[in-house]
Amino acid sequence: MRPAKRLRLRFSSLQLLLLLLWAAPRPCAAGDEEDDDDDAGLPGHKDRHWSYKDMPEWASMFPNCDGHMQSPININTAAVSFSVKLEPLLLSGYDLPPEETLPLKNNGHTVLLGLPKKMTLSGGGFPQPYQAAQLHLHWGSGHTWPGSEHTVDGHRYAGEIHVVHYSSRFESFEEAASEPGGLAVLAAFLQVGMETNEPYQHILKHLSGIKEEGEETAVAGFDVAKLLPYDFDRYFRYNGSLTTPPCYQTVNWTVFNQTVRLSQEQISMLEETLQGDDDEPIQSNFRLLQDLYGRSILSSFHTLEKVHPPGGGPSEEGGDQAEPKAGGVLSSPLPDGAPRDGLDPTSGKDAEKRVGISLHTGDILAILFGSLFAATALAFLFFVHKHRRQASREQATKPAALYTLASTDEHAL
């Protein structure tokens, strides 16, 4: 397991370097576009184009993007604080009848599903309910380029779903979006698994019909909650921002501790089907990590309870396929990410399915113990060698019967 970890560590560094090169500013390939349905469906920015290729330029057009409460962030599980106020989340109205159709759109940045406001989010320590506005996805490119926005202990997942809600204190999403605490986003990591995730297929099967930017179709209502992990009890919470311009710092982020699994084919559908304004596939539509600037991250559960799963080890997306369900081990504190549609009712709260130590910490420990082992082995070999030389010398002068006692003297030397 240790060599694999070290390999992955090197690979992650290479990934970071390549990502930095990729993220270097490049000229925009197309003109203005409508951004009114982007990450948060915000109006008033239709004339200001942005793309993931010019992230460093966002702040010049959208000053909030340079703030100190930006998202996404890395969740360092060793530094999160447990909060008793973070009760289980309550979702209601999520199970929509088939006759209630939902708009599914390619907005040039992602695939976005419009949601009715009767879908509400409460509990979770929120003082008032939030109403749903839309959901969308973030993904990477190719099998080895994961595309979640948040990371956990430095680990980036294949993708991420965001279900965007706005506070019921406001009349509309637009009104709430720029107000403190106005928004609440549920985020869950997407991970590669062995089986097709049927609830996700409900969306993915329509992608080929909205290939071009701006295209829209209608999707029959379904239980939207099945797109999320089934464990609503364990999650992380922090205050952050929209991850796309205008980067309003008004979001209560809830990041689930449990992941959701999609098949490799489904992840590939995400990565290869939709096209952006430059007629190229929409890929790696995630924002780079933002500084915490002293913000605290809360958790609804004791992260120290985490334990290593039996036989488990860190894996990049797709690397866990040998264990399709309960053994889906992540290099993070996240437990198995079986789909929420009942495919794996046994996983979830069981302690052995929760992964204890992060990739980062695991690597450090592996290197530390590896070094200690090597040093001990060398010292032992040196001792044995020395012992044999001395013994052979003494054997030439002493009777064999005294040999065993001689070792005491040797130690005294």
Contact set with Zn ion (CB under 5 A): 39, 162
Task: State which residue, 52 or 126, has the beta carbon closest to Zn ion.
Answer: 52
> CB 162 → Zn ion: shortest distance, Å?
4
Question: Using alpha carbons only, what angle is made at residue 147 by residues 42 and 138, rounded to the nearest 5 degrees?
Answer: 30
Output 119 or 137, the one with its CB closest to Zn ion: 137
CB of 254 to Zn ion, least distance (A): 13
Nearer Cβ to Zn ion (256/301): 256
Closest residue to bound Zn ion by CB:
162
Q: In the complex, what is the shortest distance from the CB of residue 248 to Zn ion, in angstroms, rounded to a whole number?
A: 13
How near is the Cβ of 163 to Zn ion at its closest, in Å? 9
Minimum separation from the CB atom of position 372 to Zn ion (A): 43
Whether 387 is catalytic is: no
Nearer to Zn ion, 72 or 313 (CB): 72
Shortest separation between residue 174's beta carbon and Zn ion, angstroms: 17
| 162 vs 360 by CB, closer to Zn ion | 162
Burial (0-12, 13-18, 19+ Cβ within 10 Å), 103: middle
How many residues does the structure list for the chain? 413
Catalytic residue among 45, 49, 68, 109, which? 109
* 19-26 long-range Cβ contacts below 8 angstroms, 24+ apart: 19/288, 22/284, 23/53, 23/55, 23/56, 23/288, 25/53, 25/54, 25/56, 25/57, 26/53, 26/54
What's the min distance (Å) between Cβ of 177 and Zn ion? 13
CB of residue 377 vs Zn ion: minimum separation in angstroms?
50
Query: Measured from the CB atom, is 159 or 348 closer to Zn ion?
Result: 159
Between residues 183 and 204, which has the closer beta carbon with respect to Zn ion? 183
Q: Which is nearer to Zn ion, 247 or 330 (by Cβ)?
A: 247
- Three-state SS string over the chain comes to CHHHHHHHHHHHHHHHHHHHHHCCCCCCCCCCCCCCCCCCCCCCCCCCCCCHHHHHHHHHHCHHHHCCCCCCCEECCCCCEECCCCCCEEEECCECCCCCCEEEEECCCCEEEECCCCCEEEECCCCCCEEEEEEEEEECCCCCCCCCCCEECCEECCEEEEEEEEECCCCCHHHHHCCCCCEEEEEEEEEEECCCCHHHHHHHCCHHHHCCCCCEEEECCCEHHHHCCCCCCCEEEEEECCCCCCCCCCEEEEEECCCEEEEHHHHHHHHHHCECCCCCECCCCCCCCCCCCCCCCEECCCHHHCCCCCCCCCCCCCCCCCCCCCCCCCCCCCCCCCCCCCCCCCCCCCHHHCCCCCHHHHHHHHHHHHHHHHHHHHHHHHHHHHHHHHHHHHHHHCCHHHHHHHHHHHHHC
Which residues are known to be catalytic? 109
